[in-house]
Structure 1
Amino acid sequence: MTMTAKAKWGRFALLVMGGGTIYKLANLKDVFYVPMQDHLGLTNTEIGLLLSVNSIVATALFVVGGFLADRFRTRTVISAGLIGAGLLGLYMSTFPTFSVLTVIFALLAVCSDCLFWPALLKSVRQLGGKEEQGRMFGFLEGGRGIVDTIVAFSALGIFVLLGSGIAGFRAAIITYAVIDIAIGILLFFLLRDSSETPSVEATEAKQDKLKVFEAFKIVAKLPQLWLVSLTVFMVYIVYVGLTYFIPFLSDVYGLPTALVGVFGIINQYGLKILGGPMGGFLADKKFKSSSRYIGFSFLALLPVMAVIILLPKTSNFTVAAMIMCLLFSVIVFSMRGVFWAPMDEVGIPEEISGTAFGIASLIGYAPGMFGFLIYGAILDANPGTTGYYTVFMIMCALAVIGSGVAFTVARMARRKKTATMAA
C-alpha cells in the first residue's frame, strides 16, 4: 500500500470513528428502549416525540450544515459536533424532565446533523474516485457498524454489570457521552488541515467565489438531486421501522430486557458491518449501479416481512422470528450503505456537493420527523400484535413505492452515461 493510500484510509478510519459514535445519545432507543420506558417514564408516543423533535431540527438545519461543510475545515466542524453531543449527554445522565429532554434531543440534532453529518459525507465522497463511490459509502456504513457495536456493547455491559437498573442506565449514558468527547478531541488533533484531499484547496477556491444563494439555485435546478433525495427518503422511512422489532420481540415473544438490548445492538449496529460493505460490493460489482441495487433490495424485503408476520407467536418460534427480523434489517442496511452513492451516478458537481448533500439530507432524512411518532402512536393505540402488524404492513407498502423511485434514478443514470459516452 502506497503512502497516499495509507493516508487515504487513515483519514477514512478517523471519519468512521466519528460517524460511529455521535448518534448514540440521540438513539438510546436502539439498545435501551425498555429502560427509557422504565426509568424515564416514557410511553411509545413520547419516545417517538423526542425522536421527531430531533429529526425536525436536523431536517431544518441540514442545508445550513451543507453550507458549513463547503466553507469550514473538516476537523473543526466534526470535532465541535462530537464534543457538543458529549456535553449534552452528560446533562442527560441527570435524568431531567421530559420537557428538558425535548430540548436536549433538539440540540443533539444541531451537533450531529448540522455540524457533523454533511461534512462527513463530503469528506467521504472526496476520498473515493468515481468507480468506488459505492464501496466507500458501503465501507463507511460497515465501519460505523463496527464502532457502533463496540461502543453499544460496552454501554450495555456496564448497564448489566450495575444490575440492569437505574444506576446502570445512567452509567451507560455517561459512557456514550465520554466516548463522544474523547473521539471529538482525538479527531481535532489527528484530522489535521493537511489531511484534506489534494483537490480540496482548488475546490474551496471555487466555492469562495460561489455565493451561497447561487449554490442553492444551481442545486435546486438539478432534477436528479430530487430523485436521489426521494430514494434516500424511501429507504429511511423503512429503516425507521426497524426500531420496532425491538419492542415487538419483547412484547410478543417475551424476550427479557438484557436480551432485547443485545438484539437491538445487533439489529441497529452490528448489521451495518455486514450490510454496508455487502451493499457497496453488490452495487459496484454485480449490479453496476447503486440505484438498481436499491430497487431490487426494496422488493426483496417483501417476502421476508411476510414470514415475520405469518410466524406463530409462541416461544418455539422466537429464534426464527429474530433471524427473520435480522435478515430484513441487513437488507435495509445494505441499502443505507449505498443510498448516497447515486449522487455521483447522476452527476452532481463536486464543488457544490456539500450544499447538495445538505439539501438531499433535508429531504432524505425527513421521515425521522414523523415516522417514529406515527409508528409509536399506532403501537400505543393498538396494543399487541395488531399494532405491530399495522406498522409492518406500512413498511411493505413503502418498500414497493421505494423500488419504483430507485429504478427511476437508475434509468436517469443510465441515460446520462449513454449521453456522456456518445459525446
Structure 2
Amino acid sequence: MSNNKQPIRWLTFIVLVMGGGTVFKLSSLKDAFYVPMQEFMSLSNTQIGLALSVYGIVQTIGNFASIYIADRFSKKILIPLSLICVGLIGIYISTFPSFYGILIAWGLLSLFGEVIYWPVLLKAIRLLGDSTQQGRLFGFLEAGRGVIDTIVAFSALGIFLFLGSGAGGLRAAILFYSACVIVAGILAYFLLEDDKINTKDEKGNEISKNKAAWNGVLKAVKTLEIWVVSLTIFTIYSVYCGLTYFIPFLKDIYGMPVALVGAYGIINQYTLKLVGGPIGGYLADKKFHSSTKYLRFALILAVIAILIFIFMPHHSLNIYFGMSLTLGFAALVFTMRATFFAPVDEIQIPREISGAAMSIACIFGYSPQLFCFALYGFIIDKFQGLFGYQIVFGLMGFFAICGVIVTSILLKMIAKKKLQGVIQ
C-alpha cells in the first residue's frame, strides 16, 4: 500500500479496534460478572450456559445470511448500525429481565454482534494488508481489542465495587458497557469510509450488486480450503470456550474471593489479548512464516499442557499458583485465537469474496457456542467438585488433539497447491 494511504489505513484500523473492543462486552458479561449474574439475575450455571447457547444458535444460523450481507453492504452502514443496536439491547438487560427475556436479549446480541458486525470487521482487517502481514494485523487487532477490553471492563468493575457490589452496581456496570458501545458506533459512522463494491463479473460484464454478492457466495462455498480453515477455528474455539470455566474452578476448588474472581475474569478474557495477539501474530509471520504451522505447534503445546493440568493435586496448591497456571494456558490459547483467521489469506482466497469467506469461517468456526458452554456448564453442575472440572479440561484436550489433525491436513493442502503453482 502506498505511503499516502497509510494514515487512512491506520485510522480505519483504530476505528475497527474501538468497535471490536466494546461490541462483545454485554454478551460476555459473564467474564467479569459471572457470580453477580448468578446472585442478582437469579441465573444458574446451566441457565447462563443456555443463554450462551442461544447466542451460538443465532450466530450459526445468521452467519449463513452474513455470507451474502458482508460483501453486499458497506461497512460504513453495517458497523455503526450493529454497534448502536447492541448498546440499546444492553439498556434492556440492565432492567434484569426474566430468564426468557435474557434468552431473547442474548439472541439479539448475537444477531447484531456476530452476524452483522463481526464478519464485516474481519473482512475489513484482511483487506488492510497483504499476505505477509495477516498474522500481525489480526494479532494487533486482538491486542488493540485487549487494551479497550481491559480499560472498559476494569472501569465497569470499578463502578460495580464503588456502588457496593450489589444489584445497583451490576446495573450501572451494564449501562456503562451500553454507553461505550453506542459511542463507538457513532464514531464509526463519522470516521469509516464507504466500501467500493465490484459490480463486474469474471468476464468483465457489468452486473448488479446483488448478483455480485451471490456470485461471491457460490465461489466461496465451493472452495474446500475455506471449510478446512473453518474446522481449524472450530477446534481452537472449543478449547477457548473452556477458559470461562477456569473462573468457577478457581472459586470452587481454590477458594478464590469474589472480588478477585472479577479481576481474574477480566485478565483471563481481555488482558491476555495484549500478550497473545502480538506474540501470536509475530510468531506466525516472522518465525513460522505460516499461520497454519504456528497454530499446529501451539495446539500440540496445548494438548501437553492441559493433560498435565488435569492430574495436578489442585486441592493442595496455592491460589496464586493455580491462577498462574490457568492464565498461562489461556495466554497460549489467545495466541491461537488471535491468528486463526489468518489462514484465509494463506490459502489465497480472492479478496473480493473476503466477506463470504470470513462468514463461512465464522459459521463453523464459532459453532462450538451451540453446545460447548451448555455442555461444560452442565458437567460442572452434574459432577460436583474437582471431577467435573477434570472432565471439562479433558474435553478441551480432545478438541486440541482434533485441531492438530485438522491443521496437518490444511498444511498438506497448502503444500499441494504450491506444487501445482496455485499459491506463490
**Cα deviation per residue 1:314-333 (whole Å; 9 max; x = unaligned)?**
47521111111011111111
Is 1:250 equivalent to 2:251 in the alignment? yes
Once the two structures are superposed, the pairs formed by residues 130-145 of structure 1 within 5 Å of their partners are 130-145=131-146
Larger mean Cα displacement after TM superposition, 205-214 or 277-286? 205-214
Where 1:42 maps in the other structure, the secondary structure is coil
Deviation at 1:204, TM superposition (A): 5.3
Counterpart CA distance in 2 for 1:276 and 1:409 is 22
Deviation at 1:288, TM superposition (A): 1.0
AA at the equivalent of 1:123 = A
**Cα deviation per residue 1:342-392 (whole Å; 9 max; x = unaligned)?**
111112111112112112211111000111000011011011111100000
Structure 2: stretches of 5+ with no match in the other structure: 202-207
Q: Is the alpha carbon distance of 1:422 and 1:62 closer, same or farther for their aligned partners in structure 2, counting shifts above 3 Å?
A: closer
Larger mean Cα displacement after TM superposition, 59-68 or 364-373? 59-68
Tell me which residue corresponds to 2:22. Answer: 21
Tell me which residue corresponds to 2:192. Answer: 191
Number of matched pairs: 417
Counterpart CA distance in 1 for 2:267 and 2:241 is 16
Tell me which residue corresponds to 2:120. Answer: 119
Tell me which residue corresponds to 1:227. Answer: 228
- Percent of aligned pairs with the same residue? 47
**TM-score when normalising by structure 2:** 0.95
AA at the equivalent of 2:89 = L
Counterpart CA distance in 2 for 1:73 and 1:351 is 13
AA at the equivalent of 1:377 = F
Q: Is the alpha carbon distance of 1:137 and 1:204 closer, same or farther for their aligned partners in structure 2, counting shifts above 3 Å?
A: farther
Where 1:130 maps in the other structure, the secondary structure is coil
Where 1:127 maps in the other structure, the secondary structure is coil
AA at the equivalent of 2:70 = A
Deviation at 1:66, TM superposition (A): 3.0
Tell me which residue corresponds to 1:9. Answer: 10
Structure 1: stretches of 5+ with no match in the other structure: none
Larger mean Cα displacement after TM superposition, 276-285 or 351-360? 351-360
Is 1:67 equivalent to 2:45 in the alignment? no
RMSD over equivalenced CA pairs, Å: 1.7
Once the two structures are superposed, the pairs formed by residues 149-298 of structure 1 within 5 Å of their partners are 149-193=150-194, 196=195, 200-201=196-197, 203=198, 205=200, 208=209, 210-298=211-299
Tell me which residue corresponds to 1:81. Answer: 82
**TM-score when normalising by structure 1:** 0.95
Q: Is the alpha carbon distance of 1:214 and 1:2 closer, same or farther for their aligned partners in structure 2, counting shifts above 3 Å?
A: closer
AA at the equivalent of 1:359 = I
Tell me which residue corresponds to 1:353. Answer: 354
Q: Is the alpha carbon distance of 1:361 and 1:166 closer, same or farther for their aligned partners in structure 2, counting shifts above 3 Å?
A: same
Deviation at 1:72, TM superposition (A): 1.3
Tell me which residue corresponds to 2:32. Answer: 31
AA at the equivalent of 2:421 = T
Deviation at 1:421, TM superposition (A): 7.6
Once the two structures are superposed, the pairs formed by residues 354-373 of structure 1 within 5 Å of their partners are 354-373=355-374
Larger mean Cα displacement after TM superposition, 13-22 or 307-316? 307-316
Deviation at 1:27, TM superposition (A): 0.8
* Mapped contact 1:304–1:327 kept (Cα < 8 A): no
Where 1:131 maps in the other structure, the secondary structure is coil
Tell me which residue corresponds to 1:342. Answer: 343
Q: Is the alpha carbon distance of 1:422 and 1:375 closer, same or farther for their aligned partners in structure 2, counting shifts above 3 Å?
A: closer
Q: Is the alpha carbon distance of 1:417 and 1:329 closer, same or farther for their aligned partners in structure 2, counting shifts above 3 Å?
A: same
